[in-house]
Amino acid sequence: MFLIKKRMANQDELRTLVINAVCEEDNNDLALQKMLDALRNIILEEKKDGTEVTNEDVILVRNALTIIKENVDNADFSVDDLSARLGMHRTNLYRRLKQACNETPIRLIRKVRMEKAYYLFMREPIYVSQVAYSVGYRCPKNFSRHFREHFGCYPHQLLKRQKTEIDQ
């Protein structure tokens, strides 16, 4: 039970660090570095097969997150674009990201988009469709489905909860 609570605390800390790194308007290298350090610690804790996290893994994740951050609002940005910008084949990118941070490239892109959306919702109450378009979704319905998968509630439920907290 202690390990589960510790893991959940690490994920909450990582979520905060990801939001800070991804959502900063300027390129905040310190926030990105803190997030990568937390990610590395979580990876080290969760690696059960005894393999080590190398500097190449950290550099790959840093570069991938930087590229994703630059293209978070681009609806046409895909795994192919990410792999081309990183200079590797998409199969190699999949394998190396899965090994480095236990995430597939598409899930990493989606995670960054969802954290940016959460940040936008918390900053000010705005329409779900506006947030969906600003984080690279063409269809608000798909955005809502992915948001629910990631956070466990639909965006409108989050906005409703936020509104009731403001009213109290």
SS (H, E, C) 24-93: CCCCCHHHHHHHHHHHHHHHHHHCCCCCCCCHHHHHHHHHHHHHHHHCCCCCCCCHHHHHHHHCCCHHHH
Rounded to an integer, the average pLDDT of 14-43 is 59
pLDDT band at 164 (very low <50, low <70, confident <90, very high): confident
Angle CA(72)–CA(67)–CA(109) in degrees, nearest 5? 50
Q: What's the pLDDT score for residue 6? A: 45
CA 158 to chain centroid: 18
pLDDT band at 161 (very low <50, low <70, confident <90, very high): confident
Q: What's the pLDDT score for residue 55? A: 78
pLDDT tens per residue, range 98-137: 888 888 999 999 999 999 999 999 888 789 999 999 999 9
What is the pTM assigned to this prediction?
0.73
